[in-house]
Structure 1
Amino acid sequence: FLIFLSRTTTYLVSSQVEGPVTPSELVEMLQRTIDEQRVAFRASLADEQAAAFRASRAEEEERRRSALRLRQEQDAAYLESLRKDQEKERLAKSFQEGAVKPKAKAKPSTKYPGQAGGETTRTTQIRAPTHKETAPSHRTEANTKIMIRFPNGERRQQSFRHTD
């Protein structure tokens, strides 16, 4: 006959008895063993609880450090991505401003026949530049040419200098 004392997954052999034992002797041996081991159990239980508490704290601290490290890495990656996007936007804006500056003055808004449902199909003249200087040289100056095809098949063409 063996007496095993168990806490969680560990076992302790506290005493061993051979031969027949009466129930009253068995109860007496168990009671004595429990009384003897109670102090040892309490001390070791307190030690185990303290060790488990320290391990739990260490694990929590490691999780916190890991989460902080991950957050910092994500923030750094986000800021790097944001910086690259801002750089792209700045380059695109400077490129667009460089391309738009010559054309900034030449944006007439004209209404063409047939755009709205109830309009007639009469044609309108495209206005020519109001100031007539020397004829622009097609080889030396930057020109913009506009060709419009109306719904009735008529085509109109007009050229503008980049300074108009």
Structure 2
Amino acid sequence: MAATLQPASFPFCAVIAPVAGNNMAVLQQMEGPIDPAELVEILQRTMEEQGSAFGTTVRGREEEHMRARIKEEERIKARAKEQEKLRADRQLREEQDAAYFVALQRDQEKENLRNARAQKSIEASNQTNYQNPGQMHREKQLGKPRQSSSVGEAQYKETTTHGKDTQILIRFPGGERREHNFSCIDKILSIYRYIDSLGLPGIANYRLISSFPRRLYSFDQMGMTLKDAGLHPRASLFVELL
């Protein structure tokens, strides 16, 4: 400040007031020794004469503070309005999602009911007319009609009395297992015929698969003997439904 005012001597006293543009105005300045009472009188007189400058400054600051407060209030109101809009949009989305989920759940329940009815109809049809196209085709290859479960299985026990040198373990999808002895010269078709003779529910169209090594025994292999098919003297086959 001293560098700006450049007093000629000290002590130095000055009364300044801010003006527009971040500038300042020198209202009064005193240099050199001065009596304290006189200094107070000079300062009081300066305040009386130049009070408008200080008043303008105070009013300007008050107006500036007022504008800042109004601006802050407007900002708070705008933010509150934006938050309210976000809450309304979020609530609308939640309501729409809930309605969609309810509709989707109803559609799924209807679909499940239709599937259950269709499955019951299929099971009833299979129970009434168990003989399926796959069995008919295999029986045609055998040249004789399908027999009942007890009669068919008994016949297999009789026809395989001789030459029981190939043991076949048959595993079904439901976990049930059946073991039967065949002759090594029996054909793959004999295994299919044995399975059909059991009359197990749900065993309709299927194919036989060995695990180790994995190999498929279907229509093309039905004429092979068990020995040629690599199932002698013992093998495990899995019934895979089609």
Deviations 1:117-152 (A, max 9, x none): xxxxxxxxxxxxxxxxxxx433689xxxxxxxxxxx
> Aligned with 2:34: secondary structure?
coil
Letter in structure 2 aligned against 1:59 = E
Deviations 1:31-90 (A, max 9, x none): 111112212222332232122112211210111011101220232122123212210121
Task: Indicate if the aligned counterparts of 1:3 and 1:14 stay in contact, CA closer than 8 A.
Answer: yes
Residue 45 (structure 1) aligns with: 58
Residue 2 (structure 1) aligns with: 13
What TM-score, normalized to structure 2?
0.38
Higher helix fraction (1 or 2): 2
Shift in CA distance, 94/100, structure 1 to aligned 2, threshold 3 Å: same
Residue 89 (structure 1) aligns with: 102
Which residues of structure 2 form unaligned runs of 5+? 1-11, 118-123, 130-242
Residue 30 (structure 1) aligns with: 43
Aligned residues: 110
Residue 125 (structure 2) aligns with: 137
- Give the fraction of aligned pairs with identical amino acids, expressed as a percent: 27
Given candidates 40, 55, 74, the residue that maps to 2:68 is 55
Which residues of structure 1 form unaligned runs of 5+? 105-135, 142-164
Letter in structure 2 aligned against 1:81 = E
> Aligned with 1:21: secondary structure?
coil
Residue 192 (structure 2) aligns with: none
Quick one: distance in 1 between partners of 2:92 and 2:27? 64
Q: Which has the larger radius of gyration?
A: 2
Shift in CA distance, 48/64, structure 1 to aligned 2, threshold 3 Å: same
Matched, 1:75 2:84: no
Structure 1 runs, 4 residues or longer, greater than 4 Å off: 4-7, 10-13, 101-104
Shift in CA distance, 30/139, structure 1 to aligned 2, threshold 3 Å: same
**RMSD of aligned C-alpha atoms?**
3.4
Task: Indicate if the aligned counterparts of 2:13 and 2:29 stay in contact, CA closer than 8 A.
Answer: yes
